[in-house]
């Protein structure tokens, strides 16, 4: 699939060149004209248009700009700026606010919601596995390239197995457009929400019809920009990082003072596998798992984790990243040979840090391996904080969602995946 991109390129004379979404499993025939138009509007030009409207006198057209930055994007800026992640985040915040963005959030909180909801759903699925053939394996749902491929190509073979928990991006969208806008006494359509992500496919996710409020004519996420697009804008404007102030990120709850940056356990993609594995070991079998040992199968992007007791295998999970490994997984599923109860699936080899919106070295989508390694080191330097012990999450479950098992939580933290009537064959180039 091909879209227009403002990727930072050395060959700047090739303005408006096309960028292959090599990390996407969707073929170029999967997008309708309407979707293509919506995705093309998720651009730097669109954000600048909104900013320009705010500078005019017509207050009725003013919007409050909110930017949410994915934790997997911050290592990119840290490496590019030559700073640690916290200081890089503060510089990025200063740049975004200099443009006219009024609030800048880190999305680790939203990822915490997604992890906790995925844990809960896995336990429910495991307990009904004997009378529900679609209960297991459960596939993670945070990668839009994988979701798109599942819905458009694999269909009912896979879609009933996908966890219904919304991705961190879309939960952040709800937090901003529902909770935060109410706190600010703003109508959701008066808020323009920009999401900074490492992956172009996140633009696909933002335009899904499930995440559009037709009554208010507003999306949970109005525009996704990749880390590379933001960095390109900085280069275009000749911004000097040294001259930027250090501005702490904002808190969703409105507290003053900088939000401490933390990460979740795992390999750089929020660690859904590790969190669910440890939670399930404790909840289902009363076992405390402190360290997880990955067993590499085909390659480092196809690994499994096993929980055993007295020679019996209690749990078997897998992390499957990249097109080729996903094809292997699907092939085994068709033959009924998937031994796993949960599979963390990501379309980018190496996971989210390797998203082509920040880790591609050229317009063909080739990975900058040295950059990826530096980003992995930067990301791992952040302290780990379990979502279970995050007091802000518990506060929001009560104040925003009226409890962990409330109808409100079910509506705002979950979605559904479906198979279209006419699926299209995969058209992939390896």
State pLDDT tens for residues 391-413: 999 999 999 999 999 999 999 99
Pick left, alpha or beta for residue 177 (phi over 0 → left; psi -120 to 50 → alpha; otherwise beta): alpha
* Residue-wise pLDDT tens digits, 303-324: 999 999 998 999 999 999 988 8
Of 179, 168, 186, give the one whose Cα is nearest residue 73: 168
- Contact predicate 93/101, CB 8 Å: no
What is the pLDDT, as a whole number, of residue 17?
A: 31
- Contact predicate 341/276, CB 8 Å: no
- Contact predicate 352/198, CB 8 Å: yes
What is the pLDDT, as a whole number, of residue 11?
A: 33
Of 42, 180, 201, give the one whose Cα is nearest residue 50: 42
* Cis before 30 (ω within 30): no
Below-70 pLDDT ranges, the chain: 1-32, 35, 57, 215-216, 254-259, 268, 363-365, 420-430
Of 222, 209, 219, 272, give the one whose Cα is nearest residue 415: 209
What is the pLDDT, as a whole number, of residue 232?
A: 92
Return the bridge partners of 344, or none.
319
Neighbours of 353 (CB within 10 A): 25
Q: What pTM does this model have?
A: 0.88
| Angle ∠(86,319,200) on CA atoms, nearest 5 | 55
Of 379, 377, 357, give the one whose Cα is nearest residue 367: 357
Output the 3-class SS for the chain: CEEECCCCCCCCCCCCCEEECCCCCCCCCCCCHHHHHHHHCCCHHHHHHHHHHHHCCCHHHCCEEEEEECCCCHHHHHHHHCCCHHHHHHHHHHHHHHHCCCEEEECHHHHHHHHHHHHHHHHHHHHCCCCCCCCCCEECCCCHHHHHHHHHHHHHHCHHHECCECCHHHHHHHHHHHHHHHHCCCCHHHEEEEEEECCCHHHHHHCCHHHEECCCCEECCCEEEEHHHHHHHHHHCCCCHHHCCCCCCCCCCCCCCCCCCCECCCCCCCCHHHHHHHHHHHHHHCCCCCCCCCEEEEECCEEEEEEEECCEEEEEEEEEECHHHHHHHHHHHHCCCCCCCEEEEECCCCCHHHCCCCCECCCCCCECHHHHHHHHHHHHCCCECCHHHCHHHHHHHHHCCCCCCCHHHHHHHECCCCCCCCCCCCCCCC
What is the pLDDT, as a whole number, of residue 384?
A: 86
What is the pLDDT, as a whole number, of residue 83?
A: 94
17 burial (CB, 10 Å; 0-12 / 13-18 / 19+) is middle
């Amino acid at each position: 699939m091909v879209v227009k991109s403002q990727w930072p390129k050395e060959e700047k004379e090739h303005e408006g060149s096309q960028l292959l979404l090599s990390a996407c499993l969707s073929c170029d025939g999967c997008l309708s004209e309407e979707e293509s138009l919506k995705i093309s509007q998720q651009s730097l030009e669109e954000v600048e248009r909104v900013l320009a409207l705010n500078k005019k006198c017509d207050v009725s057209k003013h919007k409050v700009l909110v930017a949410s930055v994915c934790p997997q994007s911050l290592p990119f800026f840290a490496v590019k700026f030559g700073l640690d992640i916290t200081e890089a985040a503060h510089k990025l915040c200063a740049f975004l606010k200099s443009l006219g963005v009024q609030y800048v959030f880190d999305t680790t909180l939203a990822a915490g919601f997604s992890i906790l909801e995925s844990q809960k759903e896995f336990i429910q699925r495991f307990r009904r596995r004997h009378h529900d053939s679609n209960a297991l394996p459960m596939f993670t749902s945070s990668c839009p390239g994988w979701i798109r491929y599942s819905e458009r190509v694999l269909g009912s073979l896979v879609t009933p197995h996908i966890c219904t928990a919304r991705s961190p991006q879309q939960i952040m969208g709800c937090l901003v457009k529902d909770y935060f806008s109410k706190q600010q006494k703003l109508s959701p359509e008066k808020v323009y929400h920009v999401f900074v992500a490492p992956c172009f496919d996140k633009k696909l996710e933002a335009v899904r019809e499930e995440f559009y409020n037709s009554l208010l004519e507003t999306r949970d996420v109005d525009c996704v920009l990749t880390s590379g697009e933001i960095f390109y804008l900085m280069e275009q404007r000749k911004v000097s990082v040294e001259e930027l102030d250090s501005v702490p990120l904002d808190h969703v709850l409105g507290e003053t003072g900088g939000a401490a940056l933390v990460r979740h356990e795992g390999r750089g993609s929020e660690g859904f596998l590790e969190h669910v594995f440890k939670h399930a070991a404790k909840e289902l079998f009363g076992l405390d798992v402190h360290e997880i040992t990955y067993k590499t199968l085909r390659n480092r992007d196809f690994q499994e984790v096993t929980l055993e007791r007295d020679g019996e295998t209690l749990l078997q999970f897998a992390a499957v990243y990249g097109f080729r490994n996903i094809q292997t997984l699907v092939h085994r599923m068709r033959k009924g040979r998937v031994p796993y109860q949960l599979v963390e699936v990501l379309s980018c080899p190496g996971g989210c840090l390797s998203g082509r919106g920040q880790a591609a070295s050229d317009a063909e989508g080739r990975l900058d391996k040295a950059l990826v390694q530096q980003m992995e080191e930067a990301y791992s330097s952040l302290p780990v904080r379990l979502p279970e012990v995050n007091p802000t999450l518990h506060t929001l479950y009560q104040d925003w969602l009226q409890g962990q098992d409330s109808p409100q939580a079910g509506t705002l933290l979950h979605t559904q995946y479906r198979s279209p009537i006419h699926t299209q064959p995969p058209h992939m180039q390896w």
